[in-house]
Amino acid sequence: MLAGQSNRSVHFSASIIVAFLFGMALSSWAATQYFAHAVQYQDGLGEYVWKVGPTVRIYQPFSWFGWAAQWMNSTKQLETYVTRMLLVLCGGGVLSLLGGFFLYYRRSLKSEKHDDLHGSARWANERDIEKMGLVTYERWEGPLFRRKRTHRKASGPYLGAFDTSAGRKVLRYSDPAHLACAAPSRSGKGVGPVLTTLLSYPASTAVNDIKGENYELSSGFRHSAGSLVIKFDPTSVDQKSIDGRSRYNAAAYWNVLDEIRTYTEYDVMDAQNVSQAIADPDGEGMDDHWVSTSYELLVGVILHVKYYERDKSLSGVSTYLADPSFTDPEQMYTRMMNAEHDPDGSMGWLDSEGNPTKTHPQVAIAARAMLNKEEKERNSVLSTAKTKLSLYTEPIVARNTSRSDFCVNDLMNHEKPVSLYIVIPPSDKNRLRPLVRLFITFLILRLTRSMGFEDGRGVKDYRHRLLLLVDELASLKKMEQLQDALSYMAGYGITAFLFFQDWIQLREAYGDKETITAGCQLRIAYAPNTIDTAEDVSKMTGITTVKRQNVSYSGTRMGAMLGQMSVSEELVERPLLTADEASRLPRDEMLIFNTGHPPIRAKKLRYFEMPVFQQRAAIASPSRVCMTFSEGKGLGVKWFMVAVERVDGAKDLNVTINTYSDFPEVTLVVKQEHVERETVLEFEFGLFDTNGQPINRALAIEDLSFVARPLGDCADFEPNEAFELHFMVKDSSSYKRFSQAGFYRDMSVYEREARRKVRKLFHDFEAVDGTPTEATVERVVEGGKYAGKVLLVTRHYIAIHKHHDREQVSLHRIAKLNRSAKEGESITITYSGRKGVVV
């Protein structure tokens, strides 16, 4: 018989005979002893083998035969005992026969079991899921007499769901290792693992948030849970209050030059890290002569600007390189060589001849290196450096990177967990890529600088773990620093959760020998769109062994009956999931690969299908209140994030505040537009703690929950309408060049209801069309013009979507329009001031 094949034929073997005879012997002995016990071991039974105790006697196993022949037709009582004895014998015989067949069957299974001959791949079952620690469960475990009830709770990022015997359970990855997710566009990764994780993860997070939807849907909950929310949007611009007298910008500022540790031995190292990220914005390396020489120039110029010039930002570096006050570039390099970067001489710098100097040695070296070059080469290097800094000459980006409201170290070491959102509009994704790469690179370098050890073991020297969630990883091009850091940054408390569209896209950015996948212990795959990625997924599931049955018939072609049928089984290999099957994965399924475990065929998780996440996503995003003032030679900044929740049936407001640092005592003013009068009303409010005591002190970092209550006449205040809550510093006299900006703006209850209905409508579209859709609701501006089809009409609002893009939706207050509209109607709304005309 060939290997891998077996012919089944039913025949008795020695195992059946031995088992049957042994069972019959035991049955005979049981029948004999039963009859002896029934007649109370009388002497008339004959000789016994031995005696146990005063009454029990053991007889020969086959004594039942003589007794049956002797007393079968005796008294009625003895006949009953004989009949029962024979029933015991027959029952034992049947059990012996069945036991023999069972043993043969088990032996035949073992002899034919070659299920892993070609491969042993299989799908994970419920017990596998529990061993991985991906689900929360409670059961009895341990040896029979030492069993104890075990409760294990899964935590960490959400992955998906799995159907168990106890119902559907969510899968969460508790290990500190990294995760990767390959999911095509519009496959549901945003509403799945991204948002479910952000709506539950308790520690610090840093999110590359393209489109800003993660910030809008998760920052409100994270703020209410006590996390310090930071929104870094390089394209953010100021907005005005409803009366035009105050400015508002929810985005924080970040200047990478503020991360350079001046007057320390680390300043050159920090400047080199910044310069490398600037000189190589696409991760292509610095083998090019002009790139490498511009890098050397940037190191010197950055240090010079940081120590000496007024504008200590990358915009300032760009301005310095193109300063029109220099009639010749040589003047710029001469200024660098003559500048006193350390006026007090506290650093003890020495020049090339070993003499004390107040000029930074690295700055002098960079300037001298440029002066030693020929003019043509010098100008080419300068031109290359200017090109690398062109992003920071744009006014909006320059303003948002002119100072720092936070530092990278805060992510893991602030008193509160920090939730950082790097918001990048899709239209500016490529343009802002160098800045995003710079931030992530500096984050990794700064937060993996040192590790504590105690008693021969590594100990954490940070306050909070950090989840680094990077969406559209491949769009950032090759990030060598991130790829290398995956091998060690988990030990520093950083877990990476990386998202990309497919492995082909990843290999295009990192090459065929990329190690991003190898650095992630857990990998998630959605149904791929390309055959190459489908083949990769198929290979990841592994090879399994299956049985293929061959049936053949023999006999004459025209005969009434076939003479013989032959059945054979062959063990063959096949992928656990073929490439075609991977491409046809149901839209609600996903695959999870955990190193060292069978692959998991799981269900997708969507935040809007879970009531708890739906409630958390409905919490409004916080706003930022900021004050600036002169501090020494620089600018001091204090700020906090605030969110407001209405109290049903009352004019009180629940206020949640997370401060970056202590903030001076404030007074509250509520501003509200009267829709019919077209006027702005102001109301005085006071800040109280949850026990009803007034807050007459500075806001502290440990503060969180407050209540804002009316202090004066607030009869005209309508809590269901939109309003602005302004925080005014009570006493700013002690601050020089004091400036304040920011307030909390809350939309009306009616607008929030309209937005909720729009989202539900798009979820219904997704259920019908089978295509994930998500509405982008834009805010109406004065003087704007909006054309489209009416999607939804509520009591107070009209929602229209653009003709060419159903996902672009705008909401319009009916009270501000000349008329309402009907669903399905194509209209154009033109605003003149705050009033709109429907055509």
Residue position matching structure tokens 């073992």 = 110
d(CA 543, CA 116): 9
Query: Strands across the sheet with 744-746, in order?
Result: 739-741, 623-631, 634-646, 653-659, 705-710, 679-688, 666-674, 723-729, 744-746
d(CA 657, CA 416): 12
Q: For residue 278, count other CB atoms closer than 10 A to its CB.
A: 25
Q: Are 466 and 205 in contact (CB under 8 A)?
A: yes
Contacts with 642 (C-beta within 8 Å, 6 or more apart), sequence order = 622, 623, 624, 625, 655, 656, 657, 725, 727, 744
Instruction: Examine the pLDDT at 527 and tell me if it is beyond 70.
Output: yes
User: Tens of pLDDT along 245-291?
Assistant: 888 888 999 999 999 999 999 999 999 999 999 998 887 888 888 88
Give Cα 639 distance to the centre of its chain.
28
Q: Are 756 and 811 in contact (CB under 8 A)?
A: no
User: Tens of pLDDT along 153-197?
Assistant: 888 899 999 998 888 899 999 888 999 999 998 888 888 999 999
pLDDT of residue 564: 66
Instruction: Examine the pLDDT at 557 and tell me if it is beyond 60.
Output: no
d(CA 547, CA 545): 7
In this predicted structure, which of 291-305, 493-507, 535-549 has the lowest mean pLDDT? 535-549
Instruction: Examine the pLDDT at 7 and tell me if it is beyond 50.
Output: no
Contacts with 571 (C-beta within 8 Å, 6 or more apart), sequence order = 4, 5, 114, 115, 117, 118, 545, 546, 547, 548
pLDDT of residue 221: 95
pLDDT of residue 494: 94
Residue position matching structure tokens 């602005």 = 724
b/e map 365-402, b = 16+ CB within 10 Å? bbbebbeeeeeeebebbbebbeebbebbebeebbbbbb
Give Cα 22 distance to the centre of its chain.
63
Q: Are 628 and 636 in contact (CB under 8 A)?
A: yes
In this predicted structure, which of 392-401, 429-438, 608-617, 755-764 has the lowest mean pLDDT? 755-764
pLDDT of residue 371: 92
Residues in the chain: 839
Q: Are 687 and 699 in contact (CB under 8 A)?
A: no
Q: Are 131 and 600 in contact (CB under 8 A)?
A: no
Q: For residue 503, count other CB atoms closer than 10 A to its CB.
A: 24
Contacts with 121 (C-beta within 8 Å, 6 or more apart), sequence order = 541, 542, 543, 544, 575, 576, 598, 599
Residue position matching structure tokens 């002690």 = 734
Q: Are 686 and 696 in contact (CB under 8 A)?
A: no
Q: In the chain, pLDDT over 70 holds for what percent of residues? A: 93
User: Tens of pLDDT along 650-677?
Assistant: 889 999 999 999 999 999 999 998 777 6
Please state the rounded mean pLDDT for residues 714-733: 89
Please state the rounded mean pLDDT for residues 326-342: 91
Better-scored residue on pLDDT, 643 or 566: 643
- Cα 304 to Cα 268, 315, 380, 679, 765: the distances in Å are 11, 14, 21, 52, 57
User: Tens of pLDDT along 601-625?
Assistant: 999 999 988 999 999 998 989 999 9
Q: Are 462 and 412 in contact (CB under 8 A)?
A: yes
Q: Are 644 and 655 in contact (CB under 8 A)?
A: yes
Question: What is the C-alpha R_g of the chain?
Answer: 39
b/e map 286-320, b = 16+ CB within 10 Å? eeeebbebbbbbbbbbbbbbbbbbeebbbbbbbbb
The dihedrals phi and psi of 19, each to the nearest 5 degrees, come to: -65, -40
Task: Determine the 3-state secondary structure of 722 from DSSP.
Answer: coil
pLDDT of residue 10: 44
Q: In the predicted model, what is the mean pLDDT of the chain?
A: 86
